[in-house]
Amino acid sequence: MSGIAVLGAGAFGMALAAVHAGEGRRVILWGRDPARMAALAARRADPDRLPGVSLPEAVECTAEIGRVRGARALLLAVSAQNTGAFLAERGAELPRAPVVLCAKGIDARTLRLQTEIAAEALPGAPLAALTGPGFAGEIARNLPSALTLACADPALGPDLQRRLAARRLRLYLTDDVIGAQIGGALKNVMAIACGMADGAGLGHSARAALMTRGFAEMTRLAVALGARAETLAGLSGLGDLSLTCNSTQSRNFSLGRALGSGAARPGGTVEGVATARAACALSARHGVEMPIAAAVADVLEGRLTLDGAMEALLSRPLRDE
């Protein structure tokens, strides 16, 4: 085949497959579970993962990894904590095509970004990252969205930008691969914090404070890792932060809200949980202060109650902004 292969048939993978097929592109959607992929091929829908959305007939659904061999671009949409395992298991079977990392998260075991994991597993492979403020359901329904495509290769980046953009999916290009990925990963942690505040009834002012100071934490760590501060002020940082900290469509915000209100935790992958732990380890390694991320990690891992976390943040010494 030629065209685009989407590896990972979760909500975002299905959304990417739908939008590219809607542009008349040949798309293959790969998922690990043969029974689920057969059902998806027959029903063209999965209401559990992407309610109210049907996949175009042009999307080929398969659990056979060999079907992606002729693809000219690979969109890797498995969860962030499974990227390393997937590439270790399946990397040798993938074609030598550009790989676009679509998950937002820092590996909790190695503290590596998604492109760093891919660079080790696929030496010499052309790499990019796709991130920014886009809910899967809205992208799949062809609602207007703008994302960041991060690629350090000056020739590959513009080519992928042209090939992966759509009429309702605008892609902005950056060569700051670190900054784009840090923004996409850490906004999940801040969304959990904002959800906690919302669930606990702490008000809009508390959420605004958490978003603003959380953005400062994101920027500090990104710069310490070699990113440019202005990247965090774009779609992949501030844009994604604004989206995920203000909507129950965000699994991270919904998890925080459940914790804040004492409700049951929602199901599904919540990338910010593992990333909170990874962010704290990175901040310690680089001497970067990240009190909000630390408070989120402490609550998630049972070291602090929500009241204790709020008290810890509010009792910090006064300082200049």
List, as one string, the DSSP characters of 38-68.
HHHHHHS--TTTSTT----TTEEEES-GGGG
| Residues 43, 118 within the same domain | yes
Write down which residue in 175, 199, 223 finishes a domain.
175
11 is in an annotated binding site: yes
Write down which residue in 131, 153, 175 finishes a domain.
175
Looking at residue 320, its pLDDT comes to 85
Q: How far apart are CA 121 and CA 162, in angstroms?
A: 26
Look-up of token digits 């935790």: 265
Whether the model clears a pTM of 0.75, i.e. scores above it, the answer is yes
On the 0-12 / 13-18 / 19+ scale of CB atoms within 10 A, 47 is: exposed
Radius of gyration for the alpha carbons in the chain, expressed in angstroms and rounded: 19
Looking at residue 318, its pLDDT comes to 85
| Residues 142, 202 within the same domain | no
Write down which residue in 175, 191, 222 finishes a domain.
175
Average pLDDT score, the chain: 96
- Strands of the sheet containing 27-30, edge to edge, are 59-62, 27-30, 4-7, 73-76, 99-101, 127-131, 145-150, 169-174
In a domain? residue 229: yes
**Do 206 and 158 contact (CB within 8 A), yes or no?**
no
**Do 119 and 127 contact (CB within 8 A), yes or no?**
yes
pLDDT along the chain (321 residues), means of 10: 88 97 96 98 96 96 96 97 98 96 98 98 97 97 97 98 97 98 98 97 97 98 98 98 97 97 91 97 98 97 94 89 87
Total structural domains within the chain: 2
List, as one string, the DSSP characters of 121-132.
HSTT--EEEEES
60 is in an annotated binding site: no
In a domain? residue 75: yes
21 is in an annotated binding site: no
124 is in an annotated binding site: no
Phi and psi dihedrals of 57, rounded to 5? -60, -25
| Residues 197, 226 within the same domain | yes
In a domain? residue 321: no
In a domain? residue 84: yes
| Residues 158, 222 within the same domain | no
In a domain? residue 41: yes
166 is in an annotated binding site: no
In a domain? residue 120: yes
Residues 6 or more apart whose CB falls under 8 angstroms from that of 240 comprise 104, 131, 132, 133, 183, 184, 187
| Residues 18, 122 within the same domain | yes
Of 25, 49, 187, 220, which one is the catalytic site residue? 187
Tell me the Ramachandran region of residue 203: left when phi exceeds 0, alpha when psi lies from -120 to 50, beta otherwise.
left
Domain of residue 213, residue span: 178-314
9 is in an annotated binding site: yes
| Residues 88, 118 within the same domain | yes
DSSP state for residue 73 in the 8-state scheme: E
Check if 187 is active-site: yes
